Amino acid sequence: MNILLHPTYFPSISHYVAMMRAETITFEVEDNFQKQSNRNRMYIYGPNGLQLLNIPVVNSSERHQKYKDVKIDYSDNWQKNHSKSLEAAYRNSPFYEILEHDLQPVFEKNHTFLLDLNFKIFEILNECLRVELTFSKTTDYCHKTNEFTDFRDLVNGKKDTFINERYTQVFEDKEGFLPNLSVLDLLFNEGRCSKDYLKEQII
């Protein structure tokens, strides 16, 4: 399966299930940026249930701005807020102390462009999962293609209806099991077993 999808901020479990089952991975980088998508947001399981973490971006005067041209807004300390939110959500998870150090570069270095940050995150997550996922990037926007299985809709949380199998979550005694969160939720709770877990899921 040759797949086409968007790079996102700490991708959802569905993204990783698709990538783990793919023969080739191509990232769409020639699209226009769309607000309220997982390009700059992720969902975690916080102490009060489903929690959205959003990266603020610099507003552009252009009506249609390329995703690759979107800059991150550092006027608010979102990195500190996201790091604190992850700590509150996962400090009691089995693998928080192990992964905390690996994730620090995301919250310590300022990347100018959102796309560059998302690719850096992809690199870090692959190291945490101990997987090698090679990829290519589009050079033109693909409107429709027969060359790929198109998973670009996964960038839109409302269209991503994937339900993964249950695993133990820190706060599930409060809200029950929450499916298809950021793959970080899986990593914090399952650690090295996450790789095999993702391979067993079907999308």
For the chain, the distance separating the N- and C-terminal CA atoms, rounded to the nearest angstrom, is 12
Q: Comparing C-alpha atoms, which of 189, 160, 193 is closest to residue 86?
A: 189
CB atoms inside a 10 Å sphere around CB 9? 21
Instruction: Please state which of the ranges 22-36, 55-69, 166-180 shows the lowest mean pLDDT.
Output: 55-69
Cα 42 from Cα 54, distance rounded (Å): 7
CB 33 within 8 A of CB 67: yes
Taking the C-alpha atoms of residue 22 and residue 149, their distance in angstroms, rounded to an integer, is 9
The domain tally of the chain equals: 1
Q: pTM, whole model, 2 decimals?
A: 0.95
The domain in which residue 115 lies consists of 2-200
For residues 165 and 201, the answer to whether their CB atoms sit within 8 Å is: yes
pLDDT of residue 82: 97
What are 36-95's pLDDT values in tens digits? 999 999 999 999 999 999 999 998 777 789 999 999 999 999 999 999 999 999 999 999
pLDDT category at 146 given cuts 50, 70, 90 is confident
CB atoms within 10 A of CB 23: 8
